[in-house]
Structures are given as structure tokens and as C-alpha cells.
Amino acid sequence: MRSQSAERLGIEKSVSISDFRKNPSRCFLPGPVEVLSRGRPIGYLMEPELFETMLETLARHENPATLKKEFGLTDDWLRKVTGETP
């Protein structure tokens, strides 16, 4: 059972927190996965490449320095997305 937010975001897969606790590595699938507790979303799982792509896309529309601060990202990440050299 997916939540309304998963439907709105186009997330097709979900897993209960109980199933996640039993075998976490089995829950990391291609594409985002919604984690549910009592039928309500408590988080999302995604592969590292998708997460990085999302941050880089967001950085093209927002101030990368602000994203670095808000998400606790590294200076290396900031240099990568801005194209600056050390």
C-alpha cells in the first residue's frame, strides 16, 4: 500500500518499517522506495546516484552554497556542482 504522497511523487514501491528492519539491504531497489510505519510515510530510500542527481538538479535552481549549509554537504561537493577548482 502506497501513501498519497508516494502517488503524488510517482514512487511505485513501498516497504513497511518492519520489513525494512528484517532485511534492510533487500529494500534498496532501483528507484525510490517509500518506508511506511502504520501506513504513513516516514522516509524514502534511494540509490546514491539518484540522490546525487537530485542534489545537482536542485543546485542548478537554488544557491549551491545554501544547499551545502542546509544539507551539511562537503566543500568538494560544492566545487563539483559549481565547477570551481580548489
Both 55 and 24 in one domain: the answer is: no
Note whether 14 and 40 are same-domain residues.
yes
Cβ-based neighbour number of residue 55 at 10 Å: 17
Task: Specify whether 41 is located in the same domain as 65.
Answer: no
* Same domain for 10 and 41: yes
Domain count, the chain: 2
Predicted structure pTM score: 0.70
Query: Alpha-carbon distance 55 to 76, whole Å?
Result: 14
Asked whether 27 and 33 are in contact (CB, 8 A), the reply is yes
Q: Are residues 40 and 8 in the same domain?
A: yes
38 and 18, same structural domain? yes
pLDDT in tens, the chain (86 residues): 667 777 777 788 899 999 999 988 888 888 889 999 998 999 999 988 888 888 888 888 888 888 888 888 888 888 887 777 66
Range of the domain at 14: 4-45
What's the gap between Cα 60 and its chain centre?
Answer: 17
Phi, psi at residue 15, to the nearest 5°?
-145, 145
